[in-house]
Structure 1
Amino acid sequence: MKRHLICAALLGATLMLTGCGESPEQPATEEAVGIPGMKISNARMVLAPVPGNPAAIYFDLDYEGDRNVALSRAEVKGAKSAMFHDYGDYNGKKQMMEMLPVPLKKGDKIQFAPGGKHLMAMDVSPNLKPGGTTEASIIVSGGKKQAFEVPIRAAGDER
């Protein structure tokens, strides 16, 4: 009788383990790309006149999302790093500095333009050339990304 109980217990355990293995594996969820309500327009990268210097990316951002977010960081394909910059007064002089996170709420519109807020692309690949394109991504608090295509312009072209 003991032998039958042990066999039944082993059979039950085997069936339970087999049952666990029968469910189809769930595919790994990819990081969500796209921020609901965020629209990027008028994007362009202006290369530096001196090769090796940072490039600037300008664009218009409209936010109509229902959740408040904050611009946190950015990435640019073909650049080793990217960061948001703005101008501010320091010791009576206007200077460029790294931008603090920018909160966004429904209805906000921000222009990233020469002389103001902009995205700097550091250590730009020599493969990024005027007339080509690259991709930039804005990352907000919580990690969601908004990717957008960026046409590349030469240093002397219209910004």
Structure 2
Amino acid sequence: MKRFMAGAALAIATIGLAACDNATDEVVEAPDGVPGMSATNGRMLLAPVEGNPAAVYFDLKYDGDRALSLSRAAVEGAESAVMHEYGEYDFKVQMMEMLPVPLTKGTELTFEPGGKHIMAMNVSPELKPGGTTEVTLIVSGGDKYSFPVEIRAAGDER
């Protein structure tokens, strides 16, 4: 009886794995573009010390009809990106990871020094001042909005 149960368990596990394998064959990607979203004044300031994170700033406007949440970001040429803002913790103002930001028709956000911003981690040395790179914002549901940002040196205007 033990052999029968072990064989049945193995057969069920194999079928389950096969079903998972078929599910991974079909990759569904969210379309690029979020109706009603626009970004202007995009710029990335490289860190003064190579290997430190770069900061990304821009102005965001949302006039879409659907309520969304801005949840994540990516920066081309960086290993990862994190949305940050400043907040108070333990009676001190500190930089912290940003929670998802609700977006409704008419929302305008400024990502600026001392406020909301994106930190680009492990930036490629190929990204140089005077060039451009692309920032992608990801909203609830997985839709993406991408836009170019100018790359600036650490001492340049923010």
Asked whether the two chains share a fold, i.e. TM above 0.5, the reply is yes
Aligned to 1:96: 95
Deviation string, structure 1 residues 15-72 (Cα, Å, up to 9, x no partner): xxxxxxxxxxxxx986311100001000000001000000000000000000000001
| Percent identity (aligned) | 66
Letter in 2 for 1:124: V
Separation (CA, whole Å) in 2 of partners of 1:123 and 1:30: 25
1:23-102 residue pairs with structure 2 within 5 A?
31-102=30-101
Separation (CA, whole Å) in 2 of partners of 1:59 and 1:115: 13
Residue segments in structure 1 that go unaligned for 5+ positions in a row: 1-27
Segments of 4+ in structure 1 off by > 2 A?
A: 28-31
Separation (CA, whole Å) in 2 of partners of 1:47 and 1:151: 11
Separation (CA, whole Å) in 2 of partners of 1:30 and 1:89: 37
Aligned length: 132
The structure-2 alpha-carbon separation of the partners of 1:88 and 1:122, relative to structure 1 and needing over 3 Å to count, comes to same
Separation (CA, whole Å) in 1 of partners of 2:28 and 2:96: 37
TM-score w.r.t. length of structure 2: 0.81
Residue segments in structure 2 that go unaligned for 5+ positions in a row: 1-26
Letter in 2 for 1:69: L
Aligned to 1:119: 118
Separation (CA, whole Å) in 2 of partners of 1:157 and 1:29: 40
Separation (CA, whole Å) in 2 of partners of 1:84 and 1:111: 13
Separation (CA, whole Å) in 2 of partners of 1:92 and 1:55: 27
Aligned to 1:21: none
- Does residue 144 of structure 1 match 2:143? yes
Separation (CA, whole Å) in 2 of partners of 1:149 and 1:41: 9
Task: Please report the RMSD computed on the Cα atoms of aligned residues, expressed in angstroms.
Answer: 1.2
